[in-house]
Amino acid sequence: MSILVIAEHDNEEIKASTNNVVTAATNLEGDIHVLVAGSNCSGAKDQAAKISGVAKVLVADSPEYEHCLAENIADLIVAISADYSHILSPATTNGKNYMPRVSALLDVAQISDITAIESSDTFERPIYAGNCIATVQNSDSKKVITVRTTAFDAAQNDGSAEVVDLQESHNLGISEFIKEEIAESDRPELTSADVIISGGRGMQNGDNFKILESVADKLGAAIGASRAAVDSGFVPNDYQVGQTGKIVAPNLYIAVGISGAIQHLAGMKDSKVIVAINKDEDAPIFQVADYGLVADLFTAVPELDAKL
């Protein structure tokens, strides 16, 4: 049997998280097929065909898939699921939205947010905000899995897969896209950035994030935030790093004015190098930081900026 990977894309481009999931899929036995479901998605289709290790790209190009509404995508995936032993998606907000729907329709359990594959039926996944790692064995005939993308390297883009057009129409008509407010940014995406600088409640207001932006420009970094900074309205929700925000693992994570609550650590403690700047020497963030600087951020960050 083959393995089906559901692509994350914006119709024009494939997101790097798809490449991470393809790498995860190479730990399983079988050809890897990638499903690109979208509308006017030939850009994404062409890129998917180049992902190394992919044998076949299935394309469902139709208006009802444009905004990845869970009801329609889930029905489509179920309709083509017969030949697959494993169905994998990245644990993005899209994947988290449609995959449990797919598994319930197939009457199988879902294994969420896996970080390692031990065998075709046994997986590791973090629970309790990453304070425990559970090894889970699943007995269903089909495995429906979401993948924590930071746990797997991205597959290269030097392949050339066969492309097959699907004639599948699934429009349940019970949900409708109205609008979206997607932040436009020249910075790298949080989940695939090499360097991240994040601000917390210690930043005091949204304006002060400018001092982080300047450092981010020099380091080619993405900007993140704690929940407190998002809840206080300093920055938008898509900046949130943590158990209930984005999970990141860059080479360098700089936490500024963040105390280091378990829920925040859950989202960044797999970073390669962690730097913490905090004026409270007892802040828990220092327990996970490789380099801690006990200082007022309003002097330390501009100084850091000047020295880069």
Partner 1 sequence: MKILVPIKRVVDYNVKVRPKADESGVDLNNVKMAINPFCEIAVEEAVRLKEGGTATEIIAVTVGSSASQEQLRTALALGADRAILVETDIEVEPLAIAKLLKGVVEKESPDLVILGKQAIDGDNNQTSQMLAALTGYAQATFASELKIEGEKALVTREVDGGLQTISVNLPCIVSTDLRLNEPRYASLPNIMKAKQKPLDVIEAGSLGVDIEPRNKTLKVSPPPVREAGIIVETVDDLVDKLKNEAKVIT
Ligand X SMILES: Cc1cc2nc3c(=O)[nH]c(=O)nc-3n(C[C@H](O)[C@H](O)[C@H](O)COP(=O)(O)OP(=O)(O)OC[C@H]3O[C@@H](n4cnc5c(N)ncnc54)[C@H](O)[C@@H]3O)c2cc1C
Q: Which chain residues interact with ligand X by CB under 6 A?
A: 127, 134, 200-202, 226-229, 240-245, 257-259, 261, 263-264, 267, 278-280, 283, 296-298
At 90, the amino acid letter reads P
Taking the least distance from each CB to partner 1, the nearer of 161 and 276 is: 276
Among partner 1, ligand X, none, residue 279 binds (CB under 5-8 Å by kind)? ligand X
Give the range of 26-34, 86-94, 151-159, 205-213 binding partner 1 by CB under 8 A.
86-94
Taking the least distance from each CB to ligand X, the nearer of 188 and 200 is: 200
In whole angstroms, the minimum distance from the beta carbon of 203 to partner 1 comes to: 18
Q: Kindly state the tokens that stand for 189.
A: 């995406």
Among 85, 97, 120, 204, binds partner 1 (CB under 8 A): 97
Region class of 173: left (phi > 0), else alpha (psi between -120 and 50), else beta: left
* Per-residue CA distances from 113 to 34, 90, 265 (Å): 19, 8, 16
- DSSP SS3 for 60: strand
Among ligand X, partner 1, none, residue 236 binds (CB under 5-8 Å by kind)? partner 1
**Are the C-beta atoms of residues 220 and 195 closer than 8 Å to each other?**
yes
Taking the least distance from each CB to partner 1, the nearer of 50 and 96 is: 96
Q: Kindly state the tokens that stand for 161.
A: 């897969």
26 backbone dihedrals φ, ψ, rounded to 5°? -70, -15
Among 11, 20, 62, 191, binds partner 1 (CB under 8 A): 191
**Are the C-beta atoms of residues 150 and 248 closer than 8 Å to each other?**
yes
Should residue 287 be labelled a site residue for partner 1 when binding is judged by CB under 8 A?
A: yes
Cα separation, 290 vs 276, whole angstroms: 8
Give the range of 41-49, 159-167, 204-212, 268-276 binding partner 1 by CB under 8 A.
268-276
